[in-house]
Amino acid sequence: SQQGEEDPQALSIQEGENATMNCSYKTSINNLQWYRQNSGRGLVHLILIRSNEREKHSGRLRVTLDTSKKSSSLLITASRAADTASYFCATDTGFQKLVFGTGTRLLVSP
């Protein structure tokens, strides 16, 4: 399977803490994207990082990419209860086909 892997599978933290999720993938990529999914809902695009970029910020989100290790991380700072969701990385290897990681279920408690 070409599917990427994420860890941890599940993460439980308190409001205000930071949450870090890691993604590893197997093939060369054009870009890597992070998505959020609330239970039983569609996906919301969070951030895209290109293969020639190493770090990107968007609000409370910070994404890093290490193409030599084929890995990426998503950091959510000062988490809120509303951040509770599943987070998926997805790699674009060309032709806009996305291969999703296994996902991290984040629970942020008030």
Partner 1 sequence: GAVVSQHPSRVICKSGTSVKIECRSLDFQATTMFWYRQFPKQSLMLMATSNEGSKATYEQGVEKDKFLINHASLTLSTLTVTSAHPEDSSFYICSANRVTHNEQFFGPGTRLTVL
Task: Out of 42, 59, 94, 110, name the contact with partner 1 by CB under 8 A.
Answer: 42
Task: Name which of 77, 90, 94, 106 is nearest 24 in CA terms.
Answer: 90
36/48 Cα distance (integer angstroms): 12
Q: Is 107 in the site for partner 1 (CB under 8 A)?
A: no
Q: Is 100 in the site for partner 1 (CB under 8 A)?
A: yes
- Interstrand relation of 10-14 and 31-37 (parallel, antiparallel or unpaired): unpaired
Task: Out of 33, 72, 79, 91, name the contact with partner 1 by CB under 8 A.
Answer: 33
Nearer to partner 1, 33 or 72 (CB): 33
Q: Is 71 in the site for partner 1 (CB under 8 A)?
A: no
Nearer to partner 1, 67 or 77 (CB): 67
- Interstrand relation of 104-109 and 10-14 (parallel, antiparallel or unpaired): parallel
Q: Per the structure block, which two tokens stand in for 11?
A: 């993460």
Task: Name which of 100, 83, 65, 101 is nearest 13 in CA terms.
Answer: 83
Q: Is 22 in the site for partner 1 (CB under 8 A)?
A: no
Quote the least distance from Cβ 9 to partner 1, whole Å: 9
What SS3 class is residue 83? helix
Residues that bind partner 1 (CB under 8 A): 3, 31, 33, 35, 40-45, 48, 88, 92, 95-103, 105
